[in-house]
Amino acid sequence: MEYRKVKDQESYDDLSLKDVESLSGRSLSSANASATGLSSAGGAKGKSSWKLKSVVTLALTLLTSSQAILIVWSKRAGKYEYSVITANFSVEALKCLLSLAALFRTWNHHGVTDDNRLTTSFDEVSVYPIPAILYMVKNLLQYYIFAYVDAPAYQILKNLNIISTGVLYRIILKKKLSEIQWAAFILLCAGCTTAQLNPSSDHVLQTPIQGWMMAIVMALLSGFAGVYTEAIIKKRPSRNINVQNFWLYIFGVIFNLVAICVQDYDAVMTKGFFHGYSFITVLMIVNHALSGIAVSMVMKYADNIVKVYSTSVAMLLTAVVSVFLFNFHLSLAFFLGSTVVSVSVYLHSVGKLQPQK
The residue from 197, 225, 285, 319 that contacts a copy of itself (CB under 8 A) is: 197
132 binds a copy of itself (CB under 8 A): no
Determine the Cα–Cα distance for residues 149 and 264; give it in Å rounded to an integer.
28
CB of 152 to a copy of itself, least distance (A): 11
Determine the Cα–Cα distance for residues 248 and 200; give it in Å rounded to an integer.
39
- Spatial contact of 195 and 334, defined as CB atoms under 8 Å apart: yes
CB of 346 to a copy of itself, least distance (A): 6
Q: What are phi and psi of 311, to 5 degrees?
A: -75, -30
333 binds a copy of itself (CB under 8 A): yes
Q: How many CB atoms are closer than 10 A to CB 323?
A: 12
Toward a copy of itself, which CB reaches closer, 33 or 323?
323
Determine the Cα–Cα distance for residues 286 and 281; give it in Å rounded to an integer.
9
187 binds a copy of itself (CB under 8 A): yes
CB of 8 to a copy of itself, least distance (A): 26
Toward a copy of itself, which CB reaches closer, 166 or 252?
166
CB of 111 to a copy of itself, least distance (A): 49
201 binds a copy of itself (CB under 8 A): yes
163 binds a copy of itself (CB under 8 A): no
Toward a copy of itself, which CB reaches closer, 292 or 337?
337
Q: Tell me the one-letter amino acid at 307.
A: K
- Spatial contact of 230 and 173, defined as CB atoms under 8 Å apart: yes
C-alpha distance across the termini of the chain, in Å: 51
Burial class (CB within 10 angstroms; exposed 0-12, middle 13-18, buried 19+) of 101: exposed
Contact set with a copy of itself (CB under 8 A): 156, 179-180, 183, 186-187, 190-191, 193-194, 197, 199, 201-202, 204-205, 331-333, 336-337, 339-340, 343, 346-347, 350, 354
